[in-house]
Amino acid sequence: MTAPALPTTGREWHLLSRPVGWPKPEDFALVETEVPAPAEGQVLVRNAYLSVDPYMRGRMSAAKSYVAPYELGKAMQGGAVGEVVASNADGISPGDHVLHFFGWREYAVVDAKNAVKVDPEAAPLSAYLGVLGMTGLTAYAGLLRTASFKEGDSVFVSGAAGAVGSQVGQLAKLKGASRVIGSAGSDEKVKLLVEEYGFDAAFNYKTGPVSEQLRAAAPDGVDVYFDNVGGDHLEAAIGSLNRDGRIAVCGMISVYNNTEPAPGPRNLARLIQTRGRIEGFLVGDHYDLQPQFVQEVGPWVRSGELKYRETVVEGIENNLEAFLGVLRGDNTGKMIVKL
């Protein structure tokens, strides 16, 4: 039996110009390109699922940041999981499934050292991009290490129906939080947080001032705030912070497309009386927690104790629209592109 022919071309998304404000379709192009054979130490992967995430907006800018900007005229990058169709590396064989960082394309040639084998029998492949992947580890590290969560804490999560936020709230509950409050952008998502994810309270930030809604949901204040939004949410959290409260800054999606600097919280002086702490973090600084994370969270995912949602968009031609949907908040849980 002859081996199937390897692909010679595949489609990938290129960044043509750096967006100003909201990204526009003309800033991007879906390009047909040659697929090279894997060189020594490399594997060729047929991507099955691609990740789109808010941080990608920052990489579209030339501004100096914690990760290099996307190069103009070249394929963009992002989390992806797929099947190895050719291997020129020890330890990885055709038919294996791997997690890697060359998304936004149908086929990827990846250095084997940058590919992590995953088991499709242990969890659905797409889960390795979300609940058991980077977003899950982000939630775990931010809550437990950066925010120093401890049993009995009251926790507020913004963007709580998203991939990271929904996991933060559930982890806090599983680890003994006294109260978990979430904010989201629709009544449907608020209902999901309380009825499916087990949050004690949730509110729609579009229906009234965040500070007032937070005080009503957490009359005794909050000990931990996990920030995915910034802006009025961060100011509200500082206003409700208890003595020795901790704020972990994961993202600030409310300001990503601003063309002018956003005003900062007006009540930072309150941190003096509360002895509060604000600390930003990047998941890349906490990969040492990965084994512990998978060992602890994996069983909760398999048992159904930790629930997760995915919003799945079909087809690489819709990759850009899926990304824009994340910036608009169209997704519930992790936004995934299925190829």
Supply the pLDDT for residue 219. 97
Mean pLDDT along residues 104-114: 96
- The pTM is what? 0.82
Q: Output 259 or 208, whichever has higher pLDDT.
A: 208
Give the residue from 205, 202, 276 showing the smallest Cα distance to 241.
276
319 close to 75: Cβ distance less than 8 angstroms: no
Give the residue from 325, 164, 159 showing the smallest Cα distance to 231.
159
Q: What is the pLDDT of residues 226-256, one digit of tens each?
A: 999 999 999 999 999 999 999 999 988 777 6
Which range, 246-250, 308-312, 328-332, is most confident? 246-250
Is 4's pLDDT higher than 70? Answer: no
Measure CA 159 to chain center: 11
Share of the chain above pLDDT 90, in %: 81
In Å, the largest CA–CA distance within the chain is 74
211 close to 236: Cβ distance less than 8 angstroms: yes
Supply the pLDDT for residue 116. 87
Residue 335 β-bridge partners: 311
Kindly write down the DSSP assignment for every residue of 298-326, as one continuous string: HHHHHHTSS---EEEEESGGGHHHHHHHH
Which pair of structure tokens corresponds to residue 171? Answer: 């982890």
Supply the pLDDT for residue 3. 57
Supply the pLDDT for residue 122. 81
Is 206's pLDDT higher than 90? Answer: yes
Which pair of structure tokens corresponds to residue 61? Answer: 């800018």
Supply the pLDDT for residue 75. 96
Q: What is the pLDDT of residues 36-48, one digit of tens each?
A: 999 999 999 999 9
